[in-house]
Amino acid sequence: MIWTDEFLRRIPKTDLHVHLDGSLRLETLIDLSREHSVELPSYTVEGLKKMVFKERYRDLVEYLQGFAYTSAVMQTPQALERVAYEFAVDNFEEGVRYFEVRFAPQLHAGTRMDIAGVVSAVERGLSRARAEFNARPEIRSGLEPPYNYGIIVCALRMFEAGYSDYYRDLMRIHSYSERSRLFALASLELARAAVHLRDELGMPITGFDLAGQEAGYPAEAHVEAYDFAHRNFLKKTVHAGEAYGPESIFQAITDLHADRIGHGYYLLDTAKIRHSEITDRDQYVRALSQYIADRRVTIEVCLTSNLQTNPELADISQHAYREMHAQRLSTTFCTDNRTVCNTTVTRELKLACESFEMSRSDLKNTVIYGFKRSFFPGSYTEKRDYVRSIIDYYTRIEKAEPLVSPDSRCNSSTEDA
């Protein structure tokens, strides 16, 4: 054993792929549902876990059903602020020193709030939690690195009028436009809003994301939004390769300039290639993975989420991460959705250590990758200093942990990656 549960909890961690509306406390979901007259299938934590938020799902469609309930109760500034505050507290309490929470502001915008109002409410909750944790003596004295976060706004590959008041009004106003054009228009509007909120209002918006069903809704429809984000130095991540093949990842890194890939589960799966012009599938996958490796495009790996939504994945030890690690791709472990997946970052790290025989340095390097590949809301110099403080803190915990046995296969230094 190269770790203990307490060691995994204490070490500084990141979560670079986590959805706010998939990470509510179930007690809060129940409370807000009563406050906002949202009907739930159960009003107990046990009932919701049995009926909605399960250990395994039939497929991604069933997995996503829970978001209909969580999104419905997050339609006021007060609810968003509360959910964001509790989310940050839950992360900080388990040693997550830095997270990048993502959400789709247009799912919460309407007559009560515009996009700026949604982001402002979330930011109030997050900043309140950060202020409380960073006021602790060990932080103020410099003995431990501070807690921090960034915000990633999500565009949707597709939407229906029933998704939110915002989308309903957009589809009503542009009722004669092609739906693909509306998807593109909504994404561009969100990219413009994100840059404005970052530059004019000082919001810690660090990235732009594209989420939703890949099949039938290609990334190329959102090129205009990503070009705008790219020209305005907004970092970019894309959900790709979660439920589609390598071509989806190729689109993300070429058409959308992705700096990171969300999930990327099917990156190395030649059987998932669908494009008829790709005749040498093995060569295509080799070239794609080499391209990603050369440019250190980081893959946001979500082990539990992939296990829950992929019926083909019978056991986590069969996860594509094993081959990703063998090829030395840049990866970081993430929760995806703390509530929907019933997980934490600590649990994801434990699952990885148990399933992939990670060495002591494997674990340390992967954890530090999260900080290095983050879209940190500060200058490059500030980020380097922060990462250095994280590495030093991690090393101190290593040296103070008597139950962590030495790993003879490699030392515990952190390689540059």
Lowest mean pLDDT: which of 12-16, 18-22, 309-313, 410-414?
A: 410-414
The proportion of the chain whose per-residue pLDDT surpasses 70, expressed as a percent, equals 96
Q: Is the pLDDT of residue 161 over 80?
A: yes
Nearest partner of 185 among 211, 216, 222, 140, judged by Cα: 222
Work out the mean pLDDT of the chain and round it to a whole number. Answer: 93
In which band, very low, low, confident or very high, does the pLDDT at 408 lie, cut at 50, 70 and 90?
Answer: very low
What's the CATH fold of domain 5-27+88-119+127-400?
Answer: TIM Barrel (3.20.20)
Q: Is the pLDDT of residue 416 over 90?
A: no
The pLDDT of residue 404 is 52
Q: What is the pLDDT of residues 228-240, one digit of tens each?
A: 999 999 999 999 9
HEC readout, 154-190: EEECCCCHHHCHHHHHHHHHCCCCCHHHHHHHHHHHH
The pLDDT of residue 365 is 94
Query: If you compute the radius of gyration of the chain from its CA atoms, what whole number of angstroms results?
Result: 21
Nearest partner of 299 among 318, 281, 325, judged by Cα: 325
Mean pLDDT on 50-68: 85
Q: How far apart are CA 31 and CA 42, in angstroms?
A: 12
Q: Is the pLDDT of residue 219 over 50?
A: yes
State pTM to two decimals: 0.94
Query: Can you read off the two tokens belonging to residue 61?
Result: 């469609």
In which band, very low, low, confident or very high, does the pLDDT at 411 lie, cut at 50, 70 and 90?
Answer: very low
CB 239 within 8 A of CB 209: yes
